[in-house]
Amino acid sequence: MRKAVPYLMAAAAAAAVLALSHFSEGMNPYLLQILVYMGVNVILAASLNLINGFAGQFSLGHAGFMAIGAYTAAAFTYYLGGYEGTAGQASGLINAFGHAGVPSSVASPLVFLAALLAGGIAAAAAGLLVGLPTLRLRGDYLAIATLGFGEIVRIVISQIEAVGGPRGFSGIPKLTSVAWVAAWVALTLICLRNLLASSHGRAFVSVREDEVAAAAVGVDTTRYKVLAFSIGAFFAGIAGGLFGHYLMYLHPNSFTFIKSIEIVVMVVLGGMGSLIGSAAAAIVLTLLPEVLRTFNGALAVGYCFAISITVARPLGRPGAARALGLLAMSTAGLAALLTLGAGTGSTSELDWMLGLGLAAACAGLISCWLARGRARTLGTVAVSVAALGFGLLLVGPNMLPGPLLAAKGWVEANVSQLRLVIYAGILVGLMLARPRGLLGGRELTWRVLRSFVRSATARASGKSHSGLAAT
Amino acid sequence: MTGLQKFAQLLVQGIARGSVYSLIALGYTMVYGVLRLINFAHGDVYMVGAFIAYFAITAWHLPFLPALLVSMAGCGLLGVVIERCAYRPLRNQPRLTALITAIGVSLLLEYGGQLVFGASPRKFPTDVLTGPSLRALNAVSDALKAHPGISVSTAQLVIVISSVLLMVALRLFISRTKVGKATQAVAQDRETASLMGIGVDNIIMLTFFIGSALAAAAGVLVALEEPQIDPIMGLMPGVRAFVAAVVGGIGNIPGAMMGGLIMGVAEYLVVGYISSAYRDAIAFGLLIVVLLVRPTGLTGKGMVEKV
Amino acid sequence: MALLQLSNCTLRFEGLTAVSDFSLAMQPGELVGLIGPNGAGKTTVFNMVTGAYRPQAGRIVFDGRSIVGLKPHQIAALGIARTFQNVRLFGALSVLDNVRIAAHHTAAHGLAHTLLRTARFRSEEARITREALRLLRLLGLSGVKADPASALPYGLQRRLEIARGLATRPRLLLLDEPTAGMTPVETESLMHLIKGLRDDLNLTILLIEHDMRVVMGICERVVVLDHAVQIAEGTPEAIRSDPAVIEAYLGEVNEQPL
């Protein structure tokens, strides 16, 4: 039975990919774009986690690898592919396939795959180039060198006329679909997991933990550092290729060190030793700025955030209050997502759902904060009801008093700028609340999940015995 | 202009810009020295400094020197507040966490700045340079303008002289005063320093105050030469100064001064002789080469790991 | 033929001579002690043998092959394992993983096998795990095999370091102050364990120690270093009464008391 598990999981992944591609046919293009970006970011975060998290090499130049992959793949399809509207239209590979009797519906994905692989390999070669000379550099010096590398790549690319130079590279055929992205996400995660849950994975971690000791037990630290860079770069290159062939346009300014830092943030947030954490963080951080675009979204996020902090830093009695908070968080998040899906036009059903979720979140928050002792229960209930009412008012139309309405109006007008401020605030807050990332540096395995559930139920049951505030 | 004159001109400009980078780099290096933290928000403190001075001059009609001092004090305070709220709670956490928090603070300052000041750039009132407090320097600059090879603008004179004065003051402070020596102790071994009775928290606050004040000064000085100020003006100079600090040997004050100057001169030489497009690429490339040759920076002592 | 032969090795650090003209021959199966006051150069000798430092002069031959200039991981693969003066475990890894990683260089499955999860991958990983568990049992660490190494009490950490060293399948084991910081009971237990390992696993052991009980108890031969120079060599009893050794540890015998 155990032997069958990998095959079952592969089948499940394939089924998920097929389902996604089927359902995405008629999807709102905005949602589609978000899904594609999420997938790309997951690949980027997971591949960077290999370098930064598992191998412990402080790399700030991941955007450079992404850029190399993006531009190489784009150049491949543009000049060699034979797609319509590109330079290679007449002479490209698709035509060659056509002459050999292969229909373009088969040839096109093959050529795209070849382009992606070319991008990945080019990026991997760059990873080799970066990994080797920087072996002597430690910590922050390595960070600078990789940052410099990323910037150099970007500037050099911006001077190459064949790929558009400083004006950008347009005319790239749109070949990326949700199915492609999903397939590569699955492939990346599977490859990385297979690599990391093995003797080689332990070798990476040993290099991170103590290079001297690693060498003393026979681990070739040089080889593993370079390997981490190369493999990480390969997948970053793939992500870049997918990115370029969705956007149909590439500009060097998409690959500044700011992009590198965004990916680093995802890795740190998800926890440095956790692939699932990186994926989760990538998804959350891709969604976040989008959800924040509307006022409702901003509120939803605000409450989610407050709940998360409460859940992470338990105050007072956990148990029912925390469960409520978690439930509210999911409801609010779901409501926010649905509001998002409907675009900017919101219906009253969505408003009510959102309001309910927000109110529940508020109630959970307040009860967690206040529920320290039986004497305060009454106060807790009172404040929760008040919070419930406030939450409903906030989303209900025009039921607020004057000044609050004006404030709400200002916020709605400045939402796009405000959302960035909120995003930044959330970043700071999340780090203060969960310094070790969402999963605390561990991988989310069944064992970790079991121990989490065990301690949660222990605390919840401890509630009925002691009158002391549990932790 | 002859070749030599062009070279001299670029050198002068490079030194002027380099001394600004040094001022910013000093803040990075000092904070890194005591906390081992790369304060990503530092470049944005530089931006706030320029804005405070802008408002001091346009709204309160202060002359140059007082505006500069107000800006420095204001940003010093800002630095202390940031340290207290965002960095101190994370002192015992992994360094990368504090780094991300620093990035968050940086984004807060940038986006908040755009929210409050608006994203479009404002023109810094450089006519303050002709004010009474700078008469002597204006005279010097006019005299020098007669010679094409070494024409130096008033702004550049102010920049270089201010930077030198500030750096000398800092050096004296660190090496001669008791508090300065306490700072060195905290940078070397925080735990032992606290056991010796040194108020580590206060030292760290002071470090942030000084570093942020220097960044504010840098912001004001740059605004004199490049009068367009906007909320994201601190990004690139921040990165360049950080690179300069690392190349000089991070945690090392003379190193930061050297690194900043090298960065400024390299930048202008590249712009003058190669092309402005490759300015950053070659500067970074140069710095990577330096790092490969001396992995711990120009003045950094090699960390000999005891096996 | 000697398993390990150091001949006239000298190591200098920018003006400070750490080890001067040091020679040592170790026959297979020997249990030799390396002692001397602090700063004498004992750990430096270890570092030379394991390739962390390169001597400016002298030769080091292991199993008939010169190892000067080889990288530490290559030397480890040849069959020399060591423990460290300050325990250097992989804190984030579990106890079991710490031992498993040391067997990595013996693994016959490369990247391709790992990524594709072939039969060879599964069998190699199983073998590594089996052997690691066996070593943990041998050193009494089976109960903590899933704990992170950083969570272990000090005495167990030292044992884990030894287990990890053994996992590299060494012929020569270098132990750097293995009983440092241990109680007399722990020391006694470890002492016998070390001797037992030498006997059961056919090892050759070079031991740096400060605790004279250990030196007298299990070492067959003792070499004494002081200020980078070898000042004595012989059986433990002979060393104990050697005036040069006494002087090195306690100062001049004729010194007037204050």
Phi, psi (deg, nearest 5) at residue C199: -70, -45
Closest residue on chain A to B298 (Cα) = A141
Please enumerate in sequence order all residues whose Cβ is within 8 A of that of A162, keeping only pairs 6 or more positions apart, or say none. A75
Place of tokens 């905290």: B186
A50 neighbors A203 (Cβ within 8 angstroms): no
Count how many domains chain B has. 1
Closest residue on chain A to C163 (Cα) = A217
Contact A420 B111 (CB under 8 A): yes
Q: Which residue has the higher pLDDT, A290 or A338?
A: A290
What would you report as the CA-atom Rg of chain B, rounded to the nearest whole angstrom?
19
**Nearest to A335, CA basis, from A298, A384, A364, A306:** A298
Q: Which of A196, A198, A226 to mutate to test the interface with C (most CBs of C within 10 A)?
A: A198
B257 in a structural domain: no
Angstrom distance (rounded) from CA B69 to CA B220: 10
The whole-angstrom distance between C114's CA and the closest CA on chain B is 30
| Phi/psi-derived region of residue C181, left when phi > 0, alpha when psi is between -120 and 50, beta in every other case | left
* Three-state SS at A210: coil
The residue count for chain A = 471
Out of A133, A147, A431, the one facing B101 most closely (by C-beta) is A431
The whole-model pTM stands at: 0.82
Please enumerate in sequence order all residues whose Cβ is within 8 A of that of B107, keeping only pairs 6 or more positions apart, or say none. A420, A423, A424, A427
Angstrom distance (rounded) from CA C27 to CA C42: 19
Angstrom distance (rounded) from CA A292 to CA A296: 8
Q: Does residue B299 register a pLDDT over 80? A: no
Angstrom distance (rounded) from CA A140 to CA B246: 8
Share of chain A above pLDDT 90, in %: 26
pLDDT (mean) for C86-109: 91
Angle between helices A402-413 and A415-433 (to 10 degrees): 90
- Helix ranges (DSSP H) in A24-103: 29-48, 62-75, 93-99
The pLDDT value given to residue A466: 38
B302 in a structural domain: no
Q: What is the pLDDT of residues B110-137, one digit of tens each?
A: 988 888 888 888 888 877 777 666 777 7
**Nearest to C69, CA basis, from C56, C82, C79:** C56
- Cα A268 to the center of its chain, rounded Å: 11
Range of the domain at B106: 22-234
Q: Does residue A236 register a pLDDT over 70? A: yes
Out of C81, C90, C117, the one facing A205 most closely (by C-beta) is C90
CATH 1.20.1740 fits A28-280, yes or no: no
Q: Does residue A439 register a pLDDT over 80? A: no
ipTM for the complex shown:
0.90
Out of A158, A265, A414, the one facing B100 most closely (by C-beta) is A265
Q: Which of B44, B84, B288, B305 to mutate to test the interface with A (most CBs of A within 10 A)?
A: B288
The residues spanned by each domain of chain C are: 4-88+158-250, 90-151
- Letter string b/e over residues A33-42, b meaning 16 or more CB atoms within 10 A of that residue's CB: ebbbbbbbbb
Contact B114 A272 (CB under 8 A): no
The pLDDT value given to residue A395: 53
Q: Does residue B222 register a pLDDT over 60? A: yes
Say if B307 is an interface residue toward chain C (CB within 8 Å). Answer: yes
Query: How many A/B residue pairs have CB atoms within 8 Å?
Result: 126
Phi, psi (deg, nearest 5) at residue A389: -60, -45
CATH 3.40.50.300 fits C4-88+158-250, yes or no: yes
Beta-sheet strand order (sheet of C80-82): C80-82, C172-176, C204-208, C31-35, C221-226, C229-234
- Per CB-CB distance under 8 Å, the chain C contacts of A200 are 104, 111, 114
The residues spanned by each domain of chain A are: 28-280, 292-413
Say if residue C114 is exposed, middle or buried (CB neighbours under 10 Å; 0-12, 13-18, 19+): buried
Q: Which residue has the higher pLDDT, A427 or A453?
A: A427
Q: Give the torsion through C-alpha atoms of A61, A416, A334, A383, to 10 deg.
A: 120
How does the average pLDDT of chain A come out, rounded? Answer: 75
Max Cα separation, chain B? 63
The pLDDT value given to residue B92: 82
B269 in a structural domain: no
Angstrom distance (rounded) from CA C36 to CA C230: 9
Cα separations (Å) of C69 from A213, C42, C50, C72?
Answer: 18, 20, 10, 9
- Per CB-CB distance under 8 Å, the chain B contacts of C12 are none
Q: What is the pLDDT of residues C198-225, one digit of tens each?
A: 999 999 999 999 888 899 999 999 999 9
Would you tell me which residues 64-123 of chain C have a C-beta closer than 8 angstroms to some C-beta of chain A? 71-73, 76-77, 81-82, 84, 88-93, 97, 100-107, 109, 111, 114-117, 121
The pLDDT value given to residue C43: 92
The whole-angstrom distance between C78's CA and the closest CA on chain A is 9
Max Cα separation, chain C? 75
pLDDT (mean) for A300-327: 51
